[in-house]
Each structure stands twice: as C-alpha cells, then as structure tokens.
Amino acid sequence: MEGISVILTQLSPGLAAGLLVLTAAIGYLLGNCNGAVMVSKLLFHDDVRTHGSGNGGLTNFHRTYGGRWVTIVVIAVDMLKVVASVVIAKVIFAHVMPHGYVPLFVTYWAGIFTVVGHVFPFALKFHGGKGILAGGTLALLVDWRVAVCAWGCFLIGVLLTRWVSMGSLLAATAFGVSSALFHPVPSIAIPALLAGALIDWKHKENFKRILAGTESQLTFHKAHPPEEDLPEPEDPEESPEDEEVPAPAMETVHVELTRPAPAAAEAPAPAEEIAAEEWKGGQHWDQVDAWLEDHPGGKGEETE
C-alpha cells in the first residue's frame, strides 16, 4: 500500500486531485529556490550561470567561487527545499487521510516536483541546475536502500574518475533503477525512472565531454591573496649570487662650525689716567724736581 491507489480509494476524486496539484505546486515553487544562484547574487553580487559551464548548480558554483562555507550554504539550501516540500506534503495528506497514514508515493510525488522546479525554474527563466543534489536528498528521504545505491554510485564514480558528472550520471540511473526494484509500484517506479532520466539528460553535454576526454575534474580551492598582493615571480635564471646588493644610502650630516667671537679688545686707558696712576705711584717725582730746578720761576714766593 505505497502507491497512489491508497489516496484514490480513501479520498474523493476531487479532493485527491486538488491535494496532488497543491503539493506538486508547492514542491515546484520550492524547487525554484536555487541555492547556487541565490548565494552568488547575495554574497558575490554575481550570477553563477554567467561563468564556467553556465549551469546554476553546485559543481559550477564551487569551480567558480570556491570556498568551503559558501559551498555548504548552497548545499543546505538545495537539500532543505526538498525536505520542506516533502514535510509539507506529508502534513497535508496526514490531515485528510484516515488514521493519518501517508503512503510513500507522497514523498516521491513532492520530491520529484521539487527536482523539476530546480531544473526548470520559472523564476530563473527555466534555466536552473541539473538536479543531482535535490535528487540525492530525495533518495535519503524515500528509502535507505535507494540512498545507498544512489550515493554509493556517486562516490564510486567521483573517486575513480574525479569527474563529478560521471558520479552524477551513475547516481541518477541508480536512483531510478533501485526505486523500481525496491518499490515495484507503477506510481512510484515510473516517476522515479523519469526523474533519473531527466537528471541524466541534463548531463548530456558532460557525457559528450567525458567521451572526448575534455571534462573538468574535481579540484579543491584554496584561499589566495588578492592579485595585487601576490609577490612578483622570481627570475629562475638569476641566482642569488648574481644579484647586486644596493649600497646603503649615505646620510649627509651637516655640521655647522661656528667660530667663537673674539673677545672685545680692551680699550687703552687714557693718557691722563696712566699719568695719574704713575703720579700716584711716585715714579715721576725726580723729573718734577729736575724741572723746577731748571725753571726757578715755577716756585712760589714766600709771603710775610
């Protein structure tokens, strides 16, 4: 009791059809929320679809921008939208189905329409991703055996070839085939096979490049400094011994020599002062006496 027959027998045709259309529309609208395009526009003010392969998917985003944390954000957005659409669909059907039973078909139904919305989003002019991450998330939600087959084939393909597209082709095929094997109900097997075929069809250009040997391999980005900060490449022909070491710049020291001003010459003493000093010293008394003897009129007469 996993297919659509449970819904058709338990609900009226009108109610069943309305709920199927509603859950399909919700899944498709959520699929329009493309993680790679949203993150490239919000964080980098760019559109990832203008670079690389022109695809709005995780692989092209990582090759274009790199970065561990921004890539995790893209993964989270693309996975959570599938989870949200499936949870909403289950809640809706649980409210109307007897005893709240929701068949597995509802999970496939809502999830596959989310994949379709991711691949052909009307909000992005029907130019979206390739659906591999959304499909891989759906595999985790429907059956652990389907998830092991799909994700196992993906990892084997990537590890052996380092081509993400090779792993994606194998995973999409494994999703459809394993769903048909483990759940051989037409309402589950046919949509699952069609979803796997859709994802493979979106990788047709990658398949051509794989055959031509020109497909890009997986690489991991490392943070690089801005271009202007990169050191200039060294000339391999020039050895360190040949490099001329510039002489250290000579500093010019200006020394200002100042000659001390000569001491002011003492002005010669006036002759009168010299004479007075000598007179006081009694050095010229003999000359005075000799002069008075030669000039007798120079002596004063005695008075009575």
Give first-to-last CA distance, the chain, whole Å: 182
The residue extents of the domains of the chain are 5-212
Helices (H), the chain: 5-10, 13-31, 35-44, 58-65, 68-96, 104-119, 132-142, 144-161, 164-182, 186-202, 204-212, 271-280, 285-294
Mean of pLDDT over the chain: 82
Q: What is the pLDDT of residue 142?
A: 97
Confidence of residue 74 (pLDDT cuts 50, 70, 90): very high
**Tokens 């991711």 label which residue?**
118
- By the 10 Å C-beta count (0-12 exposed, 13-18 middle, 19+ buried), 288 is classed as exposed
Q: What is the pLDDT of residue 229?
A: 39
Q: What is the pLDDT of residue 202?
A: 94
Confidence of residue 174 (pLDDT cuts 50, 70, 90): very high
Task: Look at the pTM and tell me if it is higher than 0.75.
Answer: no
pLDDT tens-digit readout, 108-147: 999 999 999 999 999 999 999 999 999 999 999 999 999 9
Q: Are 58 and 133 in contact (CB under 8 A)?
A: yes
Q: Identify the residue with better confidence: 65 or 110.
A: 110
Return d(Cα 78, Cα 137) in angstroms, integer: 9
Q: What is the mean pLDDT of residues 231-260?
A: 51
The two tokens of residue 37 are: 């395009």
